Amino acid sequence: MKLPKWVNTERVNALVSLWDKLGNRCLRGHYLCADLSHYVTITPEVITTSVRWYKDASGNVVWDNYTQVIKDKDEHILYNPDGTPQTLTLYPQKRYIVSRYGRIDSPYDKLSREVVADWVKDDQNKRAYERKLAQRELHFLPSSRGRLRGMFSAISREIYHDNQPLWYFENIGFSVVKSSPFAVVRIASSFTRLHVDIGAELRKVSKNRKRKFTRYGKALPIPVQLAVEKTVNKAIKSYLAH
């Protein structure tokens, strides 16, 4: 049997204590009451209704209504086709107090429902608060918890900028003046593009490999790639230094 979420030892003991005080009693406080009407909740309710007639003290039927002549918005009387005024019969509104019978109940049942409802509400608020704390902790993790996430701290900002690339490779060109290939690179976080001569680095590869690289963008050997990156980094740092 699956128990409700609000159940724990302390709350069960509270319900047992409540039963010791109110158990086996009717709504009027009688112990082991045999009158079933004492277990029914009666709620008074005021209702409003139109009354056409009522009986007087002598038992005679009295019609309680009145007739009103119908008028238009300009206060002109409206007439029927036969020439008689159009009328509207109105009935007065009367208020009565009636008794609404609820379900069979007892003091223990009523109070225990209210207490359990409070427990359920408390548990919901507790879970909502715990979720809020977990989300806040997720977005504001300290550096001692490992990976930095969420809003930038001084340390995480420094790590972020250190890990960003200094430039982005865009294309390969061939200089007619120098008869040498060059790399078109864009400096990070800007629109500035540099043409960096990489002819010296490409001398270490064959003509076929060089042709595939310049025309079709085929990958170079790793040592050559590292040499090209080193040359590009040196050119960009020299440009930024000025």
| CA–CA dist 80, 86 (Å, integer) | 6
**Which residues on neighbouring strands pair with residue 168, listed in sequence order?**
186
The yes-or-no verdict on residue 147 having pLDDT over 70 is: no
C-alpha–C-alpha distance, residues 216 and 203, integer Å: 18
- Full-model pTM: 0.38
> Regarding predicted confidence, which is higher, 184 or 162?
184
Q: pLDDT by residue (tens digit) across 91-122?
A: 777 777 877 777 788 888 888 998 999 989 88
Alpha-carbon span 184 to 174, nearest angstrom: 10
- Structure-model confidence comparison of residues 50 and 73, the more confident one: 73
With a cut of 80, say whether residue 11 has pLDDT above it. yes
Q: Which amino acid is at 61?
A: V
Q: What is the overall mean pLDDT for the chain?
A: 78
Tokens of 175: 């200089």
Highest-scoring range by mean pLDDT, 9-13, 59-63, 66-70, 98-102? 9-13
Nearest CA among 188, 203, 202 for reference residue 236: 188
| CA–CA separation, 129 and 122 (whole Å) | 11
Q: What is the pLDDT of residues 203-220, one digit of tens each?
A: 878 877 777 776 766 777
Region 130-144 average pLDDT: 64
pLDDT tens, residue by residue, 17-28: 989 888 888 888
Domain extents in the chain: 9-129, 165-241
State phi, psi for 10 to the nearest 5 degrees.
Answer: -65, -40
